Amino acid sequence: MAFSNLFRKKTVEDILKQVEKDKVEGHNTLGKYLTTKDLTAFGIAAIVGAGIFSTIGKASADGGPAVIFLFLFTAMACGFAAFAYAEFASLVPVSGSAYTYSYVAFGELIAWIIGWALIMEYAIGNITVAISWSDYFTGLLESGGIHLPEWIQMDYLTASNGYAEATALMENGKAFENLDEGIKAAYMAWTSAPTIGSFHVVADLPALFIIIIITTLVYRGMKESRNASNLMVVVKLCIILLVIAVGVFYVDTDNWSPFAPNGINGVLKGISAVFFAYIGFDAISTTAEECKNPQRDLPRGMMWAIIICTILYIVIALVLTGMVKYNLLDVGDPLAFVFHQLDLKWMSGIIAVSAVIAMASVLLVFQMGQPRIWMSMSRDGLLPKRFSTIHPKYKTPSFATIVTGFVVGVPALFLNLTMVTDLCSIGTLFAFVLVCAGVLVLQNKPDIPRGKFKTPYVNAKYIFPVMLLIGIGYALFFNTQATINFLENNPKINDAKTIITSLNKTQAKAVFGYLQSIDTEQKTTKTSDLEHLLSQYESNPEHYQEIVSHLPIADNLKYESGFSLFKHKIPMWIFMITLIGLAFWAFRKNLSLIPLLGLVCCLYMMAELSVWNWIYFTIWLLIGLVIYFGFSHKNSKLNFS
């Protein structure tokens, strides 16, 4: 196998000719129905979902009212990436999104890698939204007096992990009624579930139910999907505007002080959750072949979707943090929560209904994107030919759509929300990074044809290195302690819950004895709840550190240090080293500033994700490489051209 063959490229002309060839050979083409308005609606449908109804609460609790700056930063990063997507969509107006663009810019191997990453993005994204939809749907049923057994409304991993955590806490003195509601529900689901041998039958059936419905709709046709999406977007926008209109009368500006209670670190803590609120706009680019005028409408649809959704997110964040104190918003349903706090229960009911509609519309857009990626890869020979089959009546990639339903529906029964949210984010960010890099690679190649849309050019030769120096100066002089801790890898103290759940019975008894010996207020005579007894000291970090240092257990239970601490910093080290390389590249090649900033912003958000997400993502890519070298490379149509 020649090394150069791994990076063989397709030209724009090749791609367009292939579409025509498939048509001549008997493949049906996709129907062309979409306009700028439809694409903007799809973008809003994809973006306004879990973010505004769920993750905005946690982000607001971490960052306070200043979370609006996080929304602005994320919108800016997505906007930079959207410029790159729009330029490629104008250049290569066919389905395939970042996969097709990478085939032109980098060659086949990188195109396969990005296509494989997009499969994870859309599949995991759909699983995430299906699980969130299930949570809201079962909550809505509860409010109507219909209670489903816990074991058919919760995923297997959440139930299993919750049972283990609840058991550990109860063994160390915590009463069942004092457990968090989520842990209690998980414990009940696990203990009440029917068993087959030692296997507990716990599965999220409502998540499977909505996936079947959406997959059927997507299978039936783009026109039907478009009409359903437009209707759902109108409904949820009306509800959001109603929330703003009612909520603004209950805003207390005193709740906006302090504006940034946890500083810049608190604001950035919610970056993963907030970014997840924005992903999906890139799914618009997978519908290029179904647009009436893709070179004009795709760029406009992406930009309008991001602008409209950013305005909505910022206004909602200000209203929420004005209605109640920011630290109360760390709940799964913040919009319903604030109105319940103000005894406006009728609004809570309306929000619950709109959330169910909003989640369904997000799932619809994601479920459209996945089959079209597979279809494009199949056309190139990288996946079996059947994945590019177009239904003769419905004009949709029928086989790929059915497979997508299975790929999303089955894992949604068993996987938990936290795991799939971060995996979806890292796959999406990786795609954004490569699309931005693709624009930079192609910018100085005169032999590449240009589409109608081109990213405005600003020379980054001097601007980017200066920005890098300013960032280094800020880290050294204005964020000194955090920078020193990062560079020196100083041990990090574990929180009370982490310490207590890691103890065996002997260790727990020793810790309780020590807490009893320093207990001047006799709290240990009232409860044996170790987590509660230790966590009471966390409000004073210095005192807590002193207490933990004297606990009669091994240091590895008290602190995270050495490589176990350093490994979490590896993504940020990758980011910083890459920044230096990009500065040299920008200086030598006069790179365009906008796609360069898009690349940097998205790579920074990847660095903020945990090292475990990087490890899982790497494993996923390695599996993809096995498939590529086992099947795709030798079946690629470039082998026969």
| Per-residue model confidence (pLDDT) at position 26 | 47
- Which of 8-12, 160-164, 453-457, 598-602 has the lowest average pLDDT? 8-12
Measured CA to CA, the distance from residue 526 to residue 173 in angstroms comes to: 11
What is the C-alpha R_g of the chain? 26
Angle at 274 between CA 424 and CA 320, to 5 degrees: 140
Measured CA to CA, the distance from residue 42 to residue 51 in angstroms comes to: 16
Work out the average pLDDT over 511-522: 81
With beta carbons less than 8 A apart as the criterion, state whether 594 and 83 touch. yes
- In this prediction, residue 637 has a pLDDT band, given cuts at 50, 70 and 90, of confident
76-91 per-position pLDDT tens digit: 888 888 888 777 777 7
pTM of the model: 0.77
Residue 292 CA to its chain's centroid (Å): 30
Work out the average pLDDT over 92-102: 69
User: Is the bond preceding residue 258 a cis peptide, omega within 30 degrees?
Assistant: yes
Residues 6+ apart with CB under 8 A from 521: none
Contacts 24+ apart (CB under 8 A), 351-354: 351/53, 351/239, 351/243, 352/136, 352/139, 352/140, 352/143, 353/140, 353/239, 354/53, 354/235, 354/236, 354/239, 354/240
Element (H, E) at 195: strand 195-196
pLDDT(616) > 70 = yes
- Which of 20-29, 49-58, 576-585 has the lowest average pLDDT? 20-29
- End-to-end CA, the chain: 17
Percent of the chain with pLDDT over 70: 88
Q: For 274-354, list the strands marked E by DSSP.
A: none
Measured CA to CA, the distance from residue 149 to residue 577 in angstroms comes to: 51
Residue 27 three-state SS: coil
For residue 545, the one-letter residue type is Q
Give the chain's mean pLDDT.
80
Residues 6+ apart with CB under 8 A from 456: 83, 594
Residue 194 three-state SS: coil
- Between the alpha carbon of residue 521 and those of residues 55, 172, 516, 524, 525, the distances in Å are 39, 20, 10, 8, 9
- Tell whether the torsion through CA atoms of 213, 398, 423 and 277 is positive or negative: negative
Residues 6+ apart with CB under 8 A from 491: 559, 560, 561, 565
- The residue behind tokens 């909602």 is 316
